[in-house]
Amino acid sequence: MLVSLRHAVECAYGQDWSGKSRIAVVRDLTSAQITDNPISLARIVNQFLQPTIDLNIIRVGADLFFGSYEQKIEFAIQQTRVLFALVDLRLGQINQLFINSNDTFYVIDDHAEAEALTEDWSFPNKAIDVFFVHAYLGDTVGRSAINGSCDKQSLGEMTGCVIALEHTEEITALALAHEIAHYLGLRHHGDPHNLMHESLPNGGRLETNQAEVMKRHCFVYPECRAR
């Protein structure tokens, strides 16, 4: 399929309410997340046409966040972007959302509390809700449904991912990728080098068959999708 560079970027960013393009090719391509050097236009077009997921990054207890928390979140997003790009799955829109400490619990006591958090604070769009909390009591680093629902109003199950920020940057980054992969349908894997090994840190690898499972999830949109 032949497409123009502008068309490829519009597939990723869409148009505004008036139907006009929201992108400027020169401006937006300068921030394209490409690791190859030098960068070819063909590589940029291919990136924008990859299967894509959007994320809602939700800071729980945001008024009490430390600067180190923000660094961990940014690092986790970038590392997840890199890990998923290796299997041709792209992170698209990253929506930044905030919940103050007096509105809900920001230290998770148990799995029931994590589930309640995702049910009470789901955001009505086609992005995976990722709740960053201050701490998760016990040995848990993160929690997610396996093959999570695309109906975020459904009850009795987790409708997002919950990740604690009390650990190192590396563990937080792997936890983000690991829990998103759970939500997209992956189960634990016995290989300690695989992203889905139950212990963190691990090698962060994903196999081709795992990528194919994730790409079939209803929150993954292929190529050009009307927003």
**Per-residue pLDDT reduced to its tens digit, 37-73:** 454 555 555 666 789 999 999 999 999 998 899 999 9
Percent with pLDDT over 90 in the chain: 71
Integer Cα distance of 163 and 136 in angstroms? 8
Q: 90 is written with which tokens?
A: 């792209």
Per cent of the chain over pLDDT 70 is: 77
Task: Give the H or E element holding residue 60.
Answer: strand 52-60
Which CA distances in Å does 206 have to 18, 53, 191, 194, 213? 40, 16, 10, 6, 11
Candidates 174, 179, 176; CA nearest to 205 is 174
Residue 153 has pLDDT above 90, yes or no: no
**Would the pTM of this model clear 0.75, i.e. be above it?**
yes
In which residue ranges of the chain is CATH 3.40.390.10 found? 51-215
Element (H, E) at 70: helix 67-85
209 contacts: CB under 8 Å, gap ≥ 6: none
Q: Is the dihedral of CA 104, 124, 83, 27 positive or negative?
A: negative
Average of per-residue pLDDT values in the chain: 85
Token pair of 182, please? 């759970």
pLDDT at 29: 47
Rounded distance between C-alpha atoms, residue 134 and residue 217, angstroms:
29
51-215 domain in CATH 3.40.390.10?
A: yes
